[in-house]
Amino acid sequence: MMQRRGFLRLTGRAILAGIVLAAFPGTAVLAATSEQTTNFFRAVAMDDAATVKSLLAAGVDPNQQNPLGGEPALVIAAREASMRVLRTLLDQPGIQLDATAMNGNTALMMAAFKRNRPAAEALIARGAAVNRPGWTPLHYAAASGDEDLARLLIKRGAKLDAVSPPASGSFTPLMMAAREGHPDMVAFLMEQGANPKLTNSEGRTAAQIAEQARAGR
């Protein structure tokens, strides 16, 4: 009799579980996907290409934003210099080369800011956008003072006088180099044809921005 009662309790639980799964068929899948997503972004940051490949094969979306930071995997790989992972992602069908983070950064912009030429070259070779509305990779290369990367971007058609959004000050790459205190970059950009007479949203030229920055240091 006790065995029968135990059997009935187990059967009842099984039926209840079946009802829950029928009502919410995605519950178990969502939990697994959440764990996979966490592991995926951890592997991207650690340049663990083997784990990334495994999770991509399991169906993890390579273009999604990290729930913890709002960055897609390509941006994280460029930021962390995770080159094995970056190349793995670039080989992934459907990868979005210009997917943006919540703050608007693309992988190429991050590679330029982090002075990561191998990542920039790999992204450009696959077709990542050198020019885009608002902030551009050249703005970021100018801000970091990386003349070599700036030269690469200009060679690939980067607009010398691209202007950042008005809400961000309407800065050109030349202004960014001036603001961040990179005189060699300023000279290089002017040699390439950047216009020193342009003004930002406050009416300041690159030279005036440099003076303002020096006064504030």
User: What's the distance, CA 173 to chain centroid?
Assistant: 20
Residue 8 has a pLDDT of 38
Domain 130-217 belongs in CATH node 2.60.120.10:
no
Q: Does this chain's domain 27-107 share its CATH topology with 130-217?
A: yes
Question: Span 110-128, mean pLDDT?
Answer: 97
Residue 20 has a pLDDT of 35
Are 150 and 189 in contact, with CB atoms under 8 Å apart?
yes
Evaluate if residue 23 carries a pLDDT over 70: no
Cα torsion through 74, 76, 77, 81, rounded to 10: 140
Q: Please give the radius of gyration of the chain, using alpha carbons only, rounded to the nearest integer.
A: 25
Question: Span 98-125, mean pLDDT?
Answer: 97
- For 51-89, the pLDDT digits (tens) are 999 999 999 999 999 999 999 999 999 999 999 999 999
- Determine if residue 204 is left, alpha or beta; phi over 0 gives left, psi from -120 to 50 gives alpha, anything else beta: beta
Q: What is the pTM of this model?
A: 0.83
Question: With the C-alpha atoms ordered 89, 140, 100, 47, is the resulting torsion angle positive or negative?
Answer: positive
What's the token pair of residue 63? 């273009």
CATH level 2 (architecture), domain 27-107:
Alpha Horseshoe (1.25)
Q: How many CB atoms lie within 10 A of CB 29?
A: 10
Residue 217 has a pLDDT of 66
Q: What does pLDDT average to over the chain?
A: 88
Residue 33 has a pLDDT of 78
Question: Span 97-103, mean pLDDT?
Answer: 97
Domain ranges of the chain: 27-107, 130-217
Task: Give residue 17's pLDDT band: very low, low, confident or very high (50, 70, 90).
Answer: very low
- For 198-213, the pLDDT digits (tens) are 999 999 999 999 999 8
